[in-house]
Amino acid sequence: MEEILFKNIKGIVGVYEKKPTLLRTSEIFIDEQGSLHYEKIKKTGRVIDCKNGVVIQSFFNGGLDLNIYMKNSENIIDNIYFDNSYLLRGESKISKELLELAIRRNIIESLLGAVTGTIHIGLKCSHVIEHSSKFGFKTLCGPIIYGENIIDKNEINNYAYLKNIVLNVYLNKNLKLEHLKNFIENYDNKVTINYRLPNSHLEYLSMLKTTGNTPILSLAKMNLIKGKIIISNVNWITNTEIELMKEKDIFLENSPVMSSYLGIGSVLPIAEFMKDKLTDKIIIGTDYFFEGLFQNLVTNLFIFFILQRFFYSSRAIKWNDFINMLWNGWQLISSEKYCIKDGCEPDLVLIDNINWGDLNFERAIFNSNLFNIKGIYINKKSYLNSRDLDKLRKEKHSIEGELISKMDILLTKV
């Protein structure tokens, strides 16, 4: 194992003598044997000491910024960085540890929440594939396709060994569907395609004018809706397209904030899926969630309550259904979890200054269950068993009930 040094660390969270421990430290050094070294300072952060190594925890808006560590770290990497879209680029000295940390970060903060164990990479990614294959990683993301930027067929062979490929396709008037079809046919059935619809109604209308059809119906006409398909940015959509999505077993990714006031024919895509109890095919709010814009997530939550009120008088869709819809994308590709060493899992999640009005609590609960985390440390209090967590759930659900009551009052005045 290479030596690795993280400077400007904010802290380590772990379990010591069966108690949650927050160790304030400025830097972490891992020696060649994997032993952890640190010094104490007065700051807090979200670095997990999980006995077999160190995991930089990034559940809440990234936690620790890899850009900072790449500028202040030694013996790690040259010429590799994350841009605003979290696209991984670089050409040399990709260490196993950094690649794992990069993957772990992008599990949470990718452009799409459905790319577990995946790195978003640009069109020229042979060097990343070469390095990652040495480390045994089997899942990488294909190129983001925009306009006529279709990767050369000869380079497709570089992806042959991958277990899963996520192909991001932004639908717009410049995209040649014939080229896209030829490209996709080379991938066989292991590819998951994320079709991202036009962001604005002007783009939508422009594509409609150019192709003579709506984006989704254009894809169907070209037989490009098959296999594992996610359709995101579903803001402008017709009833016909919604029914086609249901029929083709497609995942719907959308933000209720947008779909609540956009849509053709007053169609609410998520609500239509909910009415048919297709919640396992809904991915809610990932665009906002993984950018850490919590205020939009809170609004998503309120919109969800409104949808539930209008379409489910019996309130058949429960809180956990909503949380699951937030995270359906998580398990779509793979349930594998990556850490510095096999079997290394975080013991604890730190949440500081929690606001009961947002979703930090439920995110903590969900992530603790997902990663088998043994406890949660909230506002200087520890919750180390299921009884404590259930108690917190009840407190949260009580607040949830108050919110629903307030929504009921508001809706009666509409």
Please determine, for residue 193, whether its predicted confidence score (pLDDT) is greater than 70: yes
Q: What is the pLDDT of residue 389?
A: 54
Highest mean pLDDT among 41-45, 92-96, 159-163, 214-218: 214-218
Q: Flag the least confident range among 64-78, 288-302, 316-330.
A: 64-78
Q: Encode 360-376: b = buried (16+ Cβ within 10 Å), e = exposed.
A: bbbbbbbbbeebebbbb
Quick check: 244 and 225 in contact, CB under 8 A?
A: yes
Query: pLDDT value at position 24?
Result: 52
Bridge partners of 145, per DSSP, are 169
How confident is residue 225, by pLDDT bands cut at 50, 70 and 90?
confident
**124-176 confidence digits (pLDDT tens):** 233 333 333 433 333 333 334 434 344 444 544 544 444 445 566 767 766 77
Average pLDDT, the chain: 48
Structure tokens at 319: 């809180």
pLDDT at position 317, please? 52
**Overall pTM > 0.75:** no
Would you state the pLDDT for residue 240? 81
Average pLDDT over residues 368-386: 44
Residue 155 is given by DSSP the state G
pLDDT at 211: 77
Contacts of 324 (CB under 8 A, 6+ apart): 279, 280
Q: Is the pLDDT of residue 223 over 80?
A: yes
Query: If we measure between CA atoms, which residue out of 226, 231, 215, 148 comes closest to residue 187?
Result: 226
70-102 residue pLDDT tens: 333 332 222 222 222 222 222 223 344 444 444
Top-confidence residue, 332 or 224: 224
Domain ranges across the chain: 1-84+346-414, 137-336
Q: Beta strand 19-23 with 25-30: parallel, antiparallel or unpaired?
A: unpaired
Range with lowest mean pLDDT among 174-188, 198-212, 220-234, 279-293: 279-293
d(CA 125, CA 117): 16
Say yes or no: domain 137-336 is CATH 3.20.20.140: yes
Band of the pLDDT at 177, cuts 50, 70, 90?
confident
pLDDT band of 207, cuts 50, 70, 90: confident
3-state secondary structure of 240: helix
Average pLDDT over residues 165-194: 68
Q: Distance between CA atoms of 284 and 325, rounded to whole angstroms?
A: 6
d(CA 151, CA 159): 12
